[in-house]
Amino acid sequence: MVTQERRCKNEYCIIPVRLVISDRQEFLNAIRRTGERYGVSIACLNRTMIAGFDHVETALIHAMRAWKEERMIARSLEIEILLYAAGTRQTGQIASFGPETGINSLYLCIVPPKSEVIISLLKGMSEVSDEDWNEVSEEKKKLLMQFYGITPDELEVTGQERLTDLICERCALLAINR
């Protein structure tokens, strides 16, 4: 079994986490307050809608670039990250990319990474390091293909193993299709 650990670089940190959320709005408010307290942006991406760490990194890189170049679609970096992850300009289409009430498996993204933020956030979450979060089941593959408009023919031409690449391409195209 391949395991997956956090990916941290100078600009961001991505940590696979699991937690139970009893009140979604309360959770989002707590995340926002933590970000404000430490001067960071914190985004939580729902594992169900993400095709692995490369997908998250693509969304982060493009959202941060848009923010630095003052070409953002959204008013916050957190929402910009969700828009790039979904490959859409429509905020109404990103709800499924965020946390939900109940049990959540999330990619916790912290921009820029600060150890005190990670320590603070992980007090209420469990870091997951014994699962391969890059693995895409057949059920998830169908869901992602439908959401991103990837046809079976397109996947056949590029190769079944290239689904994540096709999704990352859809995310990157958001910067071009302004």
Per-residue pLDDT tens digits for 54-91? 999 999 999 999 999 999 999 999 999 999 999 999 99
Helix, strand, coil percentages for the chain (3-state, nearest 5): 50, 15, 30
Please name each of the domains of the chain with its CATH number: 7-176 (3.30.2380.10)
Residue 45 · residue 23 · CB < 8 Å:
no
Q: Which of 159, 51, 137, 145 is nearest to 97 (CA)?
A: 51
pLDDT of residue 176: 79
Once rounded to an integer, what is the mean pLDDT over residues 26-30?
97
Once rounded to an integer, what is the mean pLDDT over residues 7-21?
97
> pLDDT band for position 5 (50/70/90)?
confident
Please tell me the pTM assigned to this model: 0.94
Would the pLDDT of 131 be above 60? yes
Once rounded to an integer, what is the mean pLDDT over residues 114-122?
96
Once rounded to an integer, what is the mean pLDDT over residues 100-105?
98
Once rounded to an integer, what is the mean pLDDT over residues 125-153?
96
pLDDT of residue 178: 59
pLDDT of residue 134: 94
Question: DSSP state, 49?
Answer: G
> pLDDT band for position 175 (50/70/90)?
confident
Q: In terms of pLDDT, which residue wins out, 109 or 5?
A: 109
Q: Which two tokens stand for residue 131?
A: 């699962």
